[in-house]
Amino acid sequence: MSTLHRSTADGTARLGSGARGAPPDGTAAADRGAGGGRGFAPALGGGGRVTGLDGLRTVAVLLVIVYHVRPDLVPGGSVGVDVFFTISGFVITRLLVAEYARTGGIGLWPFYRRRWLRLMPALLVMCAVTALLSLVLPLPLFHGTWVAALLAAGSVVNLVRAGDSADLTAPLGHTWSLGVEEQFYLAWPLLLLALLRRSAPRVVLGAVAALCVLPVLWRTVLWDPAAVHRIYNGPDTRADQLLVGALLALVLARLRADDPRRERLRRWAGRLWAPAAALLALIAWRIPITETGGWSPLWYTAGFLAAAVLSACVVAALQLCPRSPLSRLLSLSGPAWIGRNLSYGMYLWHYPVLRLLHDLGVPGGLLLPAGLAATLAVALASYALLERPLLRRGRGRMRRLEPVDVAARAPVR
């Protein structure tokens, strides 16, 4: 079936009220003198939303959709998922370290609740709709979807696929990446909080950098063509892509605006974003990552980390070089709005929408434009009717529950 690609490999309580002991370095002392920050004072400034990241999300999700319909156009289009992982690690860690710098703790229950409201209701609706379609309509590509829907609702599709049971999850195989992210969201705040409370900031950076390397070593140990599903879908074997984004967020939260190292990092980001983006585009265009012929030991050991580093170079440029051509392009209102509000829904719904259109007999040449249009429409409905109302309600409730901290809300001078 040339028109619909079926890939073989992818398819609170508040803890802590202060740092235990001051980090023994000059920057930390300056932080205390400036009124807090616990070694990550620049995180207190926030910096606002990075609009270019939203545009990058749009590019990543479009890559994945095109790949699932026309793998001949972008045989390495699954690299869009790698980009998503790095963005997610960066954004989540940025929020967590800012909260820690402000309060000395991380509100685990509010964090998990926000993540649940952002991700799970839309996922559960998609699972319910696809399961219902499989029961009431004789659609070949939806056969067995109710089983896949149960696994997707439990965020374990990636674990099942890691056991080389891709056929069981095929109707909703794309939700493997959501499982990886949700498992990361569950574990990372706990690990990060432990590191922040028990270690000096420099030690935290070193520990996270070491964690970025461990999955590469683990993939090298595991590597065997028969272990490709295990490597591709495992939360442990893909953790480095999220952790690279997390490391970048911690580095930026450590460097003050007047720190010469930050300026040096900004200059390097300005130099590297173009070759990094070009290499990611080349990967998408030429490297069949998930095809049997693309199961190379180089990619399945070091390649995932390389893709994350390239993605981090782009993310760093979007954060530090807002006037670069890349930032201006990705910050355009259309791509930025779609990435901010619809990219999750588009990723969530594109696979069942494409399967439905294929089963209904949409010609191969029309499947991509029809699939994009239908996916955009369903994602817009999901955002307007489900995701946005739930997020508004959740934010309102959190504002009522959280005490007003005047000092925390004051601008950092």
What is the average per-residue pLDDT within 243-270?
95
Q: 209-213, 292-296, 322-326: which has the minimum mean pLDDT? A: 292-296
Nearest CA-CA partner of 257 in 85, 10, 25, 34: 34
Q: Could you tell me the two tokens for 71?
A: 């793998």
| Distance, CA of 31 to chain centre | 30
Q: Are 83 and 304 in contact (CB under 8 A)?
A: no
Q: Does residue 376 or residue 411 have the better pLDDT?
A: 376
pLDDT band at 397 (very low <50, low <70, confident <90, very high): low
| Mean of all residue pLDDT scores within the chain | 87
Q: What is the pLDDT, as a whole number, of residue 295?
A: 82
Q: Could you tell me the two tokens for 46?
A: 């926030």
In which residue are the tokens 């249009």 written? 373
pLDDT band at 331 (very low <50, low <70, confident <90, very high): very high
Nearest CA-CA partner of 60 in 253, 362, 303, 310: 310
Q: Could you tell me the two tokens for 73?
A: 């156009």
CA torsion through residues 276, 73, 172, 221, sign: negative
- The Cα–Cα gap between 268 and 270 comes to 5
Q: Are 164 and 230 in contact (CB under 8 A)?
A: yes
* Percent over 90 (pLDDT), the chain: 74
Q: What is the pLDDT, as a whole number, of residue 39?
A: 81
Q: What is the dihedral of CA 230, 236, 241, 243, to 10 degrees?
A: 180
Q: What is the pLDDT of residues 7-27, one digit of tens each?
A: 434 443 333 333 333 333 333
> Is residue 300 scored above 80 in pLDDT?
yes
pLDDT band at 393 (very low <50, low <70, confident <90, very high): confident
> Is residue 119 scored above 90 in pLDDT?
yes
- The Cα–Cα gap between 375 and 46 comes to 33
> Is residue 324 scored above 60 in pLDDT?
yes
> Is residue 5 scored above 70 in pLDDT?
no
- Cα angle 204-98-19, degrees, rounded to a multiple of 5: 55
pLDDT band at 290 (very low <50, low <70, confident <90, very high): confident
What is the average per-residue pLDDT within 365-369?
95
What is the average per-residue pLDDT within 304-318?
98
Q: Which helix H or strand E contains 339, and what residues bound it?
A: helix 333-341
* Percent over 70 (pLDDT), the chain: 85
What is the average per-residue pLDDT within 73-80?
96
Q: What is the dihedral of CA 114, 116, 122, 123, to 10 degrees?
A: 150
What are the distances in angstroms from CA 213 to CA 79, 209, 219, 272, 362? Answer: 19, 7, 10, 21, 45
Q: What is the pLDDT, as a whole number, of residue 281?
A: 97
- 117: β partners: none
Q: What is the pLDDT, as a whole number, of residue 141?
A: 86
Nearest CA-CA partner of 356 in 143, 190, 146, 183: 143
Enumerate the H helices of 287-323 as residue ranges.
304-320
Nearest CA-CA partner of 226 in 297, 305, 178: 297
In which residue are the tokens 């705040």 written? 189
What is the average per-residue pLDDT within 381-409?
67
Strand ranges, E, within 134-186: none
**3-class secondary-structure state, position 14:** strand
What is the average per-residue pLDDT within 212-233?
96
Q: What is the pLDDT, as a whole number, of residue 214?
A: 98
Enumerate the H helices of 223-238 as residue ranges.
228-233
Q: 149-153, 162-166, 282-286: which has the minimum mean pLDDT? A: 162-166
- Cα angle 396-399-400, degrees, rounded to a multiple of 5: 90
> Is residue 230 scored above 90 in pLDDT?
yes
Q: What is the pLDDT of residues 36-56, one digit of tens each?
A: 577 887 877 756 789 999 999
- For residue 372, give every residue at least 6 positions away whose Cβ sits within 8 Å of its Cβ, in sequence order, or none: 62, 65
- The Cα–Cα gap between 413 and 411 comes to 6
> Is residue 236 scored above 60 in pLDDT?
yes
DSSP state of 74: -
Q: Which helix H or strand E contains 299, and what residues bound it?
A: none
Q: Does residue 77 or residue 23 have the better pLDDT?
A: 77
Q: What is the pLDDT, as a whole number, of residue 45?
A: 72
Nearest CA-CA partner of 290 in 237, 222, 231, 372: 231
Q: What is the pLDDT of residues 189-208, one digit of tens each?
A: 999 999 999 999 999 999 99
| Distance, CA of 234 to chain centre | 15
Q: What is the pLDDT, as a whole number, of residue 166?
A: 67
What is the average per-residue pLDDT within 306-331?
97
